[in-house]
């Protein structure tokens, strides 16, 4: 293996980029998006460009294909694919480059494939445009390609349209069309970002196989853990520059640049509960603590939180709430919906949950597993077909909406898409004033002191109060959503994929904030996510959902150390983590 790599290493590079600069003109101003980027890529190797949104990684990839855009200025000392200088190619020659010399796989296969044409025709397109194969030969090649990328029943699948395929199959079909002409270079731009963990695993294995077979892969991703699986070299990008580049093991194991260190530190997978992920909230010097010690320290803190939670509950413990009861208890929840053909589809099937006061219950599962429906049942937004939900020992799901309404302040929610959860007409001040005044007013007469306090507690500057959420960053929006949920002083927060749409370092800050708020206020979280790493980092107990059922649940530490259910094991094995 080592010998083979050495031989490969001497081969001529498939891709040679030196001092690439890309600027975008708007009006008279030019914004530099890529600023002096350089790397080379040999056959059978994988280079990963890692960075957060706006770092310039996608623009870099597009420039290689001559797709940077109309108003872009691309300059470089070298920008060579194989033997072709991309900078001097005509529009026509660039078209020849795409597909034949470079295959491109994009993140969103649903929009990258034409919904009105069959998958087989989409894949055959490249063959039709670039080769002289007969229709018979083309269809045989399409079948072979689908087999190659691991699509079962290729003849049947080739006749389907992209909307009829699952996310994983769609992404495979897209890869098949990208490799149809055996391009020596494959550019994959966030190829697994929208996919479930187990599907992501399959796609990564496929990319790895293509790499072994000699294709050079330029992998673009925001996810260090994903990249660590298949990349030989990693280049870390921020603000249009590569700040660190080197062999994958070295970059991940012994990062040199401050930004790389921060990125790696922000990955929640495998980091003990309660450890801060972002530097701002962390103490200046924090020695790497052994997991056992961290767990102990955390347990102590947790106890403190639980005590406080119990005390808070005791203080206003009227309304039939029992002091010792868990913050939230769901028993035997069932929910089904009617299909268009009249049959019933069971979405949540006999789900029981118990969330202790001041603790976090992680609910993990892939898309369609019934996580969000469970959240809606817990929040009292839909009525269960069977089963009950109790809050602090008092009935909740069996109440009528009129009876439940005054009690709603006890349970809040934050969502994956905070922007959609805000009235588009309202400023941050109006959103929070509304929440603080129980919906009586959005007019903040004479600056509510509670508003300043609230903004402060979620780490937002007061100067943002008069902005609309549309003009805030993703992390700021989620902070506003958290502030709004906190305004009525709830005991429980239901967090439905709260960090899935955020960059790693922003995700780290939001997770740290949630942790800190839990400690300070004794909050109980029902934390829903598809991301095992995030759930592991955040939860005291974890429940794993599959097809509407909870297949396994238990204390976080035990469950992740000794998963009992085969599905949990599969999920854990598929979940990429840093070595």
Q: Rule CB under 8 A: which residues touch another protein? A: 280-281, 379, 381, 405-409, 411-413, 415, 417, 420-425, 434-435, 438-439, 442, 447, 452, 455-456, 459-467, 484, 488, 513
Among residues 432, 404, 415, the alpha carbon closest in space to that of 526 is found at 415
* Nearer of residues 84 and 409 to another protein, judged by Cβ: 409
Radius of gyration (Cα) for the chain, nearest Å?
Answer: 26
Beta carbon of residue 408, minimum distance to another protein (angstroms, whole number)? 3
CB of 432 to another protein, least distance (A): 11
Looking at beta carbons only, is 122 or 444 nearer to another protein? 444
Residue placing its CB nearer to another protein in the complex, 405 or 569: 405
Considering beta carbons, is residue 254 or 456 the nearer one to another protein?
A: 456
State the Cα–Cα distance between residues 290 and 228, nearest whole angstrom.
Answer: 23
214: left (phi over 0), alpha (psi -120 to 50) or beta: left
CB of 210 to another protein, least distance (A): 40
Beta carbons within 10 angstroms of residue 557's beta carbon: 17
Q: Give residue 234's Cα distance to chain centre.
A: 20
* Residue whose entry in the numeric block shows the structure tokens 């056959």: 43
DSSP string, 162-204: GGGS-HHHHHHHHHHHHSTT--SEEEEESTTTTS-HHHHHHHH
- Whole-angstrom distance, CA of residue 297 vs CA of residue 204: 37
Residue 156's φ and ψ, nearest 5 degrees, are: -70, -45
CB of 82 to another protein, least distance (A): 45
The number of beta carbons lying within 10 Å of the beta carbon of residue 285 is 5
CB of 322 to another protein, least distance (A): 22
- Which residue from 319, 245, 348 is spatially nearest to 491, judged by alpha carbons? 319
Q: Which C-beta is closer to another protein: that of 76 or that of 480?
A: 480
Q: Least distance in Å: CB of 413 to another protein?
A: 5
Length in residues, the chain: 579
Q: Is 88 exposed, middle or buried (0-12, 13-18, 19+ CB in 10 A)?
A: exposed
Query: Least separation, in Å, of the C-beta of 451 and another protein?
Result: 9
Q: Which two tokens stand for residue 402?
A: 């009129």
Question: Reduced to 3 states, what is the DSSP secondary structure of residue 209?
Answer: helix
The answer to whether the beta carbons of residues 358 and 518 sit under 8 Å apart is: yes
Q: Which is nearer to another protein, 21 or 468 (CB)?
A: 468
Phi, psi of 337 (to 5 degrees): -120, 155
Smaller CB separation from another protein, 185 or 528: 528
The residue among 120 and 418 lying less far from another protein, judged by its C-beta, is: 418
| Residue nearer to another protein on the CB measure, 132 or 402 | 402
Strand partners, 72: 24
Taking the complex as a whole, how short is the minimal distance between the CB of residue 132 and another protein, in angstroms?
48
Cβ of residue 439: shortest distance to another protein, in angstroms? 5
- Name residue, tokens 């808070």: 312
| Alpha helices, H only, 412-499 | 428-436, 449-457, 474-486
Other C-beta atoms lying within 10 Å of the C-beta of residue 234: 27
Minimum CB separation from another protein for residue 144, in Å? 45
Residue 437 C-beta: closest distance to another protein, Å: 11
185 bridge partner residues: 102, 216
Measured CA to CA, the distance from residue 74 to residue 78 in angstroms comes to 11
Identity of the residue, 442 or 500, whose beta carbon is nearer to another protein in the bound complex: 442
Nearer to another protein, 176 or 506 (CB): 506
């Amino acid at each position: 293996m080592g010998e083979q790599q050495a031989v490969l290493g001497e081969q001529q590079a498939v891709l040679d980029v030196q001092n690439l600069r890309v600027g975008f003109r708007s009006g008279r101003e030019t914004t530099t998006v890529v600023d002096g980027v350089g790397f080379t890529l040999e056959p059978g190797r994988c280079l990963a460009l890692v960075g957060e949104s706006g770092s310039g990684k996608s623009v870099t990839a597009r420039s290689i294909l001559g797709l940077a855009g109309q108003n872009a200025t691309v300059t470089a000392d070298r920008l060579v694919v194989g033997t072709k200088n991309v900078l001097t190619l005509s529009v026509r020659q660039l078209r020849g480059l795409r597909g034949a010399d470079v295959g491109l796989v994009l993140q969103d296969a649903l929009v990258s494939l034409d919904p009105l044409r069959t998958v087989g025709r989409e894949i055959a397109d490249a063959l039709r445009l670039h080769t002289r194969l007969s229709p018979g030969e083309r269809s045989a090649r399409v079948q072979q390609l689908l087999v190659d990328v691991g699509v079962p029943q290729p003849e049947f699948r080739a006749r389907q349209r992209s909307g009829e395929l699952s996310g994983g199959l769609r992404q495979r079909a897209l890869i098949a069309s990208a490799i149809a002409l055996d391009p020596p270079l494959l550019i994959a731009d966030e190829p697994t970002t929208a996919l479930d963990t187990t599907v992501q695993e399959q796609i990564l294995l496929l990319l790895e196989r293509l790499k072994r077979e000699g294709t050079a892969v330029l992998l673009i991703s925001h996810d260090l853990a994903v990249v660590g699986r298949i990349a030989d070299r990693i280049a870390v990008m921020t603000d249009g520059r590569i700040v660190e580049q080197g062999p994958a093991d070295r970059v991940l194991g012994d990062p040199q640049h401050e930004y790389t260190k921060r990125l790696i530190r922000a990955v929640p997978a495998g980091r003990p509960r309660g450890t801060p992920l972002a530097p701002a909230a962390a103490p200046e010097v924090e020695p790497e603590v052994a997991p056992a010690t961290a767990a102990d320290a955390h347990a102590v803190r947790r106890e403190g939180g639980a005590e406080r939670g119990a005390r808070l509950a005791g203080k206003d413990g009227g309304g039939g709430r029992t002091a010792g009861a868990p913050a939230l208890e769901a028993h035997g929840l069932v929910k089904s919906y009617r299909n268009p053909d009249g049959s019933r589809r069971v979405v949540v099937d006999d789900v029981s949950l118990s969330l202790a006061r001041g603790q976090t219950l992680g609910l993990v599962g892939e898309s369609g597993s019934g996580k969000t429906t469970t959240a809606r049942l817990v929040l009292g937004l839909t009525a269960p077909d069977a089963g009950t939900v109790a809050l602090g020992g008092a009935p909740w799901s069996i109440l009528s909406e009129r009876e439940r309404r005054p009690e709603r302040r006890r349970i809040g929610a934050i969502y994956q898409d905070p922007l959609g959860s805000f009235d588009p007409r309202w400023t941050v001040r109006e959103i929070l004033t509304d929440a603080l005044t129980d919906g009586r007013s959005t007019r903040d007469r004479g600056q509510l002191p509670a508003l300043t306090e609230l903004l402060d507690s979620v780490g937002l500057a007061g100067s943002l109060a008069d902005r609309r959420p549309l003009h805030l960053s993703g992390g700021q929006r989620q902070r506003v959503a958290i502030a709004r949920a906190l305004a009525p002083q709830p005991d429980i927060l239901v967090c439905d994929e709260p960090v899935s749409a955020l960059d790693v370092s922003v995700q780290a800050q939001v997770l740290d904030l949630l942790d800190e708020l839990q400690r300070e206020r004794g909050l109980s979280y029902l934390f829903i996510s598809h991301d095992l790493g995030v759930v592991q980092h955040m939860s005291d107990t974890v429940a794993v959902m599959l097809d509407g059922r909870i297949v396994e649940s238990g204390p976080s530490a035990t469950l992740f150390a000794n998963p009992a259910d085969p599905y949990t094991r599969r999920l854990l094995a598929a979940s990429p983590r840093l070595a």
